[in-house]
Amino acid sequence: MSATLRLADGISCPVSTVPVDRVQLGHGSGGKQSAAMLRDHFLPHLSNPVLDQLGDGAVVTVHGGEIAVSTDTFVVTPVEFPGGDIGSLAVHGTLNDIAMMGAVPRFITAGFVIEEGLDFGLLDRVIRSMAEAARAAGVPLITGDTKVVERGKADKLYINTTGIGTLDGVCRPAPDKAQAGDAVIVSGPIGSHGMAIMAVREGLAFDAEIVSDSAALFPLVERLARECGRDVHVLRDPTRGGVASSLNEIAAASGVGIVLTETEIPVPEPVGAACEMLGLDPLYVANEGVMLVILPERLADAALAALRSLPLGASAVQIGRVVPDHPGMVIMRTALGGSRVVDMLPGDQLPRIC
Amino acid sequence: MKYLSEYRDGGLARRIVSQIRNLATRRWVLMEVCGGQTHTIVKQGLDELLGDAVEMIHGPGCPVCVTPLEQIDKALLLAARPEVIFTSFGDMLRVPGSECDLLQVRARGGAVRIVYSPLDALELAIANPDKQVVFFAVGFETTAPANAMAVWQARELGVRNFTVLVSHVTVPPAMIALLQDPDNRVQGFLAAGHVCTGMGWTEYDPLAAGFKVPIVVTGFEPVDILEGIYLAVKQLEEGRFEVENQYVRAVTRLGTVPARTVVEQVFQLVDRKWRGIGEIPASGLGLREAFADFDAERRFNLGTMVVDEPAECQAGAVLRGQLKPRQCGAFGTRCTPEHPLGAPMVSSEGACAAYHNYGRYRAVEMAVTA
């Protein structure tokens, strides 16, 4: 105990030296803990130039042609939720990652971990929904795998999907391409997926049911690419960790600052109400059918018009700008005219006490 | 959002700010008691807007921050027991104990569950008769009624496998302790609106008169807080020292009588140690003898635990308003939300978290004109 560090009247509070020796749920949150786990436990062994970019997917060259590959694992509880289920989510999520690289989704594969005792009715519904999502996207599921584990060794059903896409070389967005003078656009209202799941889990009832926004984003990308093509600097679907985490990653990767305007951020009323009740911030809530678009501000109107021409992008709006100041940092201009930092979360958002 | 967007109206907020500036003939020092209010102030940049007219000192009203270390350590011990399902509000999970936090206990196999209401914990007990369900009953008068109700219900329903680890604190004794401190600079208080929703404000009348401080019962939205500040400054300028109610849409003088009643029936005043501040007489709530069966400390024979609190964390000075988080040498360097030295850095109501999450780069010039 150091006397110099103690205040005269004995005011004190413990130094915590909590060594993190085991994986916590926060390591899967997509926030700083996730990044630390990748950095400390994965990259030291698996590092290579492609992986080290830590994108949502990778672009590799095979026999002179470029292909985009992305893989994602889905462990959502509950398996079925308003607006979708783990099957459609597993298709949309992976194909969206492909689309965010500016690639055309071509194929998808799936691996299933199934808990002993799973109801075949539920399995059928999930697979049917998966098939419908893949068919609607025009992407065949070309190979797969199933494993069954003892009851209790998994929670009903986990799905891993891998998507493969091709690149035409025109639209090549990447997280490190944001530039000062760019506009930050969001293609639709935020927070619906995460709060739809949360509302079911917590048994919250609202006047209007919150429905997941789970959807395939490729049609929006296609329309956008037709208008703005090579000028699209960044595309990102802000899933785990929400809009705030995605923008922080982009700001860091591109070495730029981002300034958001609070009054422009589209939060559906039931989502806002649910977040208020639980003490959560919609900026950190997962989305599954929304994308962030960053491109030169002079093209913002054209991009918005392109997005709004499809129902999924009907409420697309510019929410901020890329600036040369405060590189790596996202700042919010508040409704009251103040400003605040919008940081990465350390781990999961935790509901507050009161 | 009805009753929410109105209280976040930027135009209205700026009008109130200019009224406060016109009214103040000198710089007044006010304390907002509740950490929820602190977060609104820092998140919305209200301190920035107020400029020199008013200095806001952040009070001790963060239930997570003031929960003493030994209670956290008891929680960690209980949560690690194989027969226990330990339930808590989400906020408490990341608070560092002596050796780890509840998230780490969960990673090591402890059954730790986040609940939104203590009644959910009671339901969990009913659904798991072969387990012992313990609820971490922390907080101010805001959470006390629901926590009391859970204990009351448990007795009514004869639920034998439900207990509470109590670490309740109450606001007025803390305000008295602050006012009696020779270093006190606080000239007026914004009392925590949600505390008064349940308890009313009769307890504050003798404080306002005795210590000659205006006390304004205030809500949590930006416009609420600015209106509360306006009322407090007006009193100070006019030399009045009264309890006023800004939060009329939620608070009445007597509060919510059924809530007060259940709190009085289940809990009694006890001396309580506040983390970082020390023991304050009659400042806590403990279970009455009639409900002793539901006391986790008794059921599990936890006894008295004495925990040494070595520290470079100056949470106590922050909680007393003697130090702004930024003035702490560890702030943002050796103490961050990922590696907190003390609770105010991790709690959603902690002043350090507010400054770290929202206010760190206040000096950054906005590059935006729109």
pLDDT tens figures, A281-310: 999 999 999 999 999 999 999 999 999 999
* Domains of chain A, each with CATH number or no CATH: 58-167 (3.30.1330.10), 182-341 (3.90.650.10)
Does B353 share its domain with B289? no
CB contact under 8 A, A257 and B367: yes
The pLDDT of residue A69: 97
To 10 degrees, what angle do helices B204-211 and B171-180 make? 10
Q: Which residue, among A4, A11, A283, would best test binding to B if mutated, counting the most B CBs under 10 Å from its CB?
A: A11
CB contact under 8 A, B103 and A26: yes
Residues of A in contact with B100 (CB under 8 A): 18
> For residue A18, what is the nearest residue in chain B, using CA coordinates?
B100
Q: What is the mean pLDDT of residues A228-236?
A: 93
How far apart are alpha carbons A71 and B151 in whole angstroms?
Answer: 48
- Distance in Å, alpha carbon of B218 to nearest chain A alpha carbon: 15
> For residue B318, what is the nearest residue in chain A, using CA coordinates?
A11
Cross-strand pairs, A341 = A331
Residues A136-177: pLDDT tens digits? Answer: 999 999 999 999 999 999 999 999 999 999 997 778 899 999
Does B104 share its domain with B182? yes
The pLDDT of residue B309: 61
- Distance in Å, alpha carbon of A108 to nearest chain B alpha carbon: 34
Does B323 share its domain with B299? no
pLDDT at A127 exceeding the cut of 70: yes
Does B185 share its domain with B280? yes
CA atoms within 13 A on the CB side of A239: 24
B364 to each of A238, A275, A338, how far by Cα in Å? 26, 28, 11
Does B260 share its domain with B337? no
Burial bucket for residue A10 (CB in 10 Å: 0-12, 13-18, 19+): exposed
Answer yes or no: is B243 within a domain: yes
User: B340 lies in which domain range?
Assistant: 315-359
Answer yes or no: is B364 within a domain: no
CB-closest option in B93, B308, B356 to A350: B93
- Distance in Å, alpha carbon of B240 to nearest chain A alpha carbon: 30
Q: What is the mean pLDDT of residues A56-79?
A: 92
The pLDDT of residue A353: 60
Residues of A in contact with B49 (CB under 8 A): 336-338
The pLDDT of residue A7: 27
Residues of A in contact with B64 (CB under 8 A): 353
Query: Which residue in A237, A194, A243 sits closest to A342, CA to CA?
Result: A243
The pLDDT of residue B126: 97
How far apart are alpha carbons B319 and B341 in whole angstroms?
Answer: 14
CA atoms within 13 A on the CB side of B2: 1
- Distance in Å, alpha carbon of A13 to nearest chain B alpha carbon: 5
Using CA atoms of B173, B177, B178, B183 in order, give the dihedral in degrees to the nearest 10. 170
Answer yes or no: is B196 within a domain: yes
CB contact under 8 A, B103 and A273: no
- Distance in Å, alpha carbon of B30 to nearest chain A alpha carbon: 20
pLDDT tier at A207, thresholds 50, 70, 90: low
CB contact under 8 A, B194 and A354: yes
Does B67 share its domain with B208? yes
> For residue A341, what is the nearest residue in chain B, using CA coordinates?
B358
- Distance in Å, alpha carbon of A66 to nearest chain B alpha carbon: 38
* Residue scoring higher pLDDT (A82 or B311): A82
CB contact under 8 A, A11 and B138: no
Answer yes or no: is B21 within a domain: yes
- Distance in Å, alpha carbon of B105 to nearest chain A alpha carbon: 9
Does B326 share its domain with B187? no
Q: What is the CATH number of the domain that holds B65?
A: 3.40.50.11740
Answer yes or no: is B329 within a domain: yes
The pLDDT of residue B38: 93
Residues of A in contact with B309 (CB under 8 A): 12-14
Residues of B in contact with A331 (CB under 8 A): 361, 364, 366
CB contact under 8 A, B103 and A10: no
pLDDT tier at A351, thresholds 50, 70, 90: low
Residues of A in contact with B89 (CB under 8 A): 351-353
> For residue B328, what is the nearest residue in chain A, using CA coordinates?
A5
How far apart are alpha carbons B244 and B250 in whole angstroms?
Answer: 13
- Distance in Å, alpha carbon of A2 to nearest chain B alpha carbon: 7
Helix (H, G, I), strand (E, B) or coil at A143: strand
Does B214 share its domain with B350? no
Q: Which residue, among A27, A336, A342, A348, would best test binding to B if mutated, counting the most B CBs under 10 Å from its CB?
A: A336
For chain B, how many structural domains are there in total?
A: 2
CB contact under 8 A, A2 and B310: yes
The pLDDT of residue A11: 32
Answer yes or no: is B368 within a domain: no
Answer yes or no: is B201 within a domain: yes
The pLDDT of residue A253: 93
Residues of B in contact with A351 (CB under 8 A): 89-91, 114, 116
- Residue B48's CB is within 10 A of a number of other CB atoms, namely 18
Q: What is the mean pLDDT of residues A99-108?
A: 96
Answer yes or no: is B67 within a domain: yes
Does B167 share its domain with B252? yes
> For residue A276, what is the nearest residue in chain B, using CA coordinates?
B4
Tens-level pLDDT at each residue, chain B (370 residues): 566 778 888 899 999 999 999 999 999 999 999 999 999 998 888 988 898 899 999 988 888 889 988 999 999 999 999 999 999 998 888 888 888 899 999 999 999 999 989 999 999 999 999 999 999 999 999 999 999 999 999 999 999 999 999 999 999 999 999 999 898 999 999 999 999 999 999 999 999 999 999 999 999 999 999 999 999 999 999 999 999 999 999 999 999 999 999 999 999 999 999 987 889 999 999 999 999 999 999 999 997 777 766 567 888 888 888 888 988 888 888 888 888 888 888 887 889 988 888 876 554 433 333 3
Q: Are strands B188-192 and B215-218 parallel, antiparallel or unpaired?
A: parallel
Contact with chain B for residue A208, Cβ under 8 A: no
Does B63 share its domain with B197? yes
pLDDT at A252 exceeding the cut of 80: yes
Structure tokens at B81: 């027991």
How far apart are alpha carbons B15 and B21 in whole angstroms?
Answer: 10
How far apart are alpha carbons B200 and B288 in whole angstroms?
Answer: 22
Does B308 share its domain with B330? no
Contact with chain B for residue A352, Cβ under 8 A: yes
* Residue scoring higher pLDDT (A247 or A35): A247
* Residue scoring higher pLDDT (B74 or A352): B74
The pLDDT of residue B153: 97
Q: Which residue, among B44, B101, B171, B322, would best test binding to A if mutated, counting the most A CBs under 10 Å from its CB?
A: B44
pLDDT tier at A251, thresholds 50, 70, 90: very high
Q: What is the mean pLDDT of residues A65-82?
A: 94
Does B279 share its domain with B293? yes
Percent above pLDDT 90 for chain A: 72
Residues A5-42: pLDDT tens digits? Answer: 222 233 333 333 455 788 988 888 777 888 889 999 99
The pLDDT of residue A189: 98
